[in-house]
C-alpha cells in the first residue's frame, strides 16, 4: 500500500510535467492545426536558460530559494517566449496557407536546428546544477517502506495545478481567450471581424513556450541535470499525452499527461518496466480506436 502510494506520487509528478508540455502542443494544434515538433526542443532550450540563470545566481551568492526560483522562472519564461515567437515568425508564418505538410517538415527542421545549435554552443556534455531544493516530507513511515514526497515534487504538482487554473480562466474569460477561440474556429472570419490573427497566433506560441519554460525550470530543479537531448523523448511523450487527451483540448492535454505519467509509473512498478512504453502506446491505440478524437476532444467538424 505504501509502495503504491509512492508510485502514485512519482506518477503524478511525471504526469504534471508531461501535461505542462502537452498544453503547448495542444494550443498550437487548436489554433493553426499543425503539430509543432520543435516544442520539445523549446522545452530543452528553457532548461538550458534555467541552468544559466541558476549558475548566475550562484555566482551572485543568492541563497534565498524562493527568490532564486522566482528569478529563474521569470528569466526562463522571458527568453523562452522569445524563442517561441522567433520560431513561429521564421519557420511557420511564411508557410501559412501552404499545404499542411510544409509547416510540419519545417517544424522537424526547426527541432533539429535547435538541438544542434544548443549542442554546438553549449557542448555535448551534460550540464549539472547542485541540488536546489533538498529534502522533503516523509508522509507515511511503515517498517517496510517509507513514502516520501520531495519538495521539488510538491513544487511541480502545485505549480502545474495553479497554471492549469490560470490558463483555463484565461481561455474562457478574457478578451485574449476569446480571440484565440475565434481564430481556432475560423481564421478568415476572425480576421474580418477585426481580430489580429497573426498577433493571436504569435501570442499562442509564446504562451506555449512559457509553459514549456516552467516545465524546463521544474525539470532542472527536480533532476538537476540537463543536456541538449532532453527535449526529444519528453516531447514525444507530451505529444502522445496531447493526442490521448484529445488534441486541441486544454483539460485533455492535462488529463493525457497525468494518465501517461501514472501508466508509466504503475506499469513499471508492478509489471515489466521494459514494456512500459509499449503499454503507454498500446493504451493510446485503444483509446484512439474507441474515441478517435481522444478522451476529451471534440470530433472535427468539416468547415464548409
Distances from the Cα of 89 to the Cα of 84, 111, 137, 138, angstroms: 9, 15, 45, 48
86: which 3 cell numbers? 522567433
Query: Segment 145-164, which members bind another protein (CB under 8 A)?
Result: 145-146, 148, 150
- How many CB atoms sit inside 10 A of residue 120's CB? 10
User: Per CB under 8 A, which region of 7-15, 29-37, 70-78, 248-256 contacts another protein?
Assistant: 7-15
- Kindly tell me which residue out of 1, 65, 101, 273 binds another protein, with binding defined by CB under 8 A: 273
Our finding on whether 121 is near another protein (CB under 8 A) is no
- Kindly tell me which residue out of 59, 60, 144, 301 binds another protein, with binding defined by CB under 8 A: 144
Our finding on whether 140 is near another protein (CB under 8 A) is no
- Kindly tell me which residue out of 255, 265, 294, 295 binds another protein, with binding defined by CB under 8 A: 265
Cα–Cα dist 15/257, whole Å: 5
Cα–Cα dist 32/46, whole Å: 23
- Kindly tell me which residue out of 94, 109, 128, 282 binds another protein, with binding defined by CB under 8 A: 128
Residues forming a β-bridge with 136? 150
End-to-end CA distance of the chain: 55
Distances from the Cα of 147 to the Cα of 10, 111, 161, 209, 263, angstroms: 11, 39, 22, 34, 19
136: which 3 cell numbers? 522533503
User: Per CB under 8 A, which region of 21-29, 37-45, 142-150, 293-301 contacts another protein?
Assistant: 142-150
Query: Segment 186-225, which members bind another protein (CB under 8 A)?
Result: 219, 223-225
- Kindly tell me which residue out of 161, 272, 292, 298 binds another protein, with binding defined by CB under 8 A: 272
User: Per CB under 8 A, which region of 99-107, 116-124, 175-183, 294-302 contacts another protein?
Assistant: 116-124
Coil, strand or helix at 140: strand
Cα–Cα dist 273/278, whole Å: 10
Our finding on whether 271 is near another protein (CB under 8 A) is no
Q: How far is the CB of 232 from another protein (least distance, A)?
A: 7
Q: How far is the CB of 121 from another protein (least distance, A)?
A: 13
167-202: b (≥16 Cβ within 10 Å) or e: beeebeeeeeeebbebbbeebeebeeeebebeebbb
Query: Segment 220-249, which members bind another protein (CB under 8 A)?
Result: 223-225, 227, 229-230, 232-234
- Kindly tell me which residue out of 94, 109, 131, 299 binds another protein, with binding defined by CB under 8 A: 131
Residues at the site binding another protein, with contacts judged by CB under 8 A: 3, 6-7, 10-11, 13-14, 115-116, 119, 124-126, 128, 130-131, 134, 144-146, 148, 150, 219, 223-225, 227, 229-230, 232-234, 264-265, 268-269, 272-274, 276-277
Amino acid at each position: 500500500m505504501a509502495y503504491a502510494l509512492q508510485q502514485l506520487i512519482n506518477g503524478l509528478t511525471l504526469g504534471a510535467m508531461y501535461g505542462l508540455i502537452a498544453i503547448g502542443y495542444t494550443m498550437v494544434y487548436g489554433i493553426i492545426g499543425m503539430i509543432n515538433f520543435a516544442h520539445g526542443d523549446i522545452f530543452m532550450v528553457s532548461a538550458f536558460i534555467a541552468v544559466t540563470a541558476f549558475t548566475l545566481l550562484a555566482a551572485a551568492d543568492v541563497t534565498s530559494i524562493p527568490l532564486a526560483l522566482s528569478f529563474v522562472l521569470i528569466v526562463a519564461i522571458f527568453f523562452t517566449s522569445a524563442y517561441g515567437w522567433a520560431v513561429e515568425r521564421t519557420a511557420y508564418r511564411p508557410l501559412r496557407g501552404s499545404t499542411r505538410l510544409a509547416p510540419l517538415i519545417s517544424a522537424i527542421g526547426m527541432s533539429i536546428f535547435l538541438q544542434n545549435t544548443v549542442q554546438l554552443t553549449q557542448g555535448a556534455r551534460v550540464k549539472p546544477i547542485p541540488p536546489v531544493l533538498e529534502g522533503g516530507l516523509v508522509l507515511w513511515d511503515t517498517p517496510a517502506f517509507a513514502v516520501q514526497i520531495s519538495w521539488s515534487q510538491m513544487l511541480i504538482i502545485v505549480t502545474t495545478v495553479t497554471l492549469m487554473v490560470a490558463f483555463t480562466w484565461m481561455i474562457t474569460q478574457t478578451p485574449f481567450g476569446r480571440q484565440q477561440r475565434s481564430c481556432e474556429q475560423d481564421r478568415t472570419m476572425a480576421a474580418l471581424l477585426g481580430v489580429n490573427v497573426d498577433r493571436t497566433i504569435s501570442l499562442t506560441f509564446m504562451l506555449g513556450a512559457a509553459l514549456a519554460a516552467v516545465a524546463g525550470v521544474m525539470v532542472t530543479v527536480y533532476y538537476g541535470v540537463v543536456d541538449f537531448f532532453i527535449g526529444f523523448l519528453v516531447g514525444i511523450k507530451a505529444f502522445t499525452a496531447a493526442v490521448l487527451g484529445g488534441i486541441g483540448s486544454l483539460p485533455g492535454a492535462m488529463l493525457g499527461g497525468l494518465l501517461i505519467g501514472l501508466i508509466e509509473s504503475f506499469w513499471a512498478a508492478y509489471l515489466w518496466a521494459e514494456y512500459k512504453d509499449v503499454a503507454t502506446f498500446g493504451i493510446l491505440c485503444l483509446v484512439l480506436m474507441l474515441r478517435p478524437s481522444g478522451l476529451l476532444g471534440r470530433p472535427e467538424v468539416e468547415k464548409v
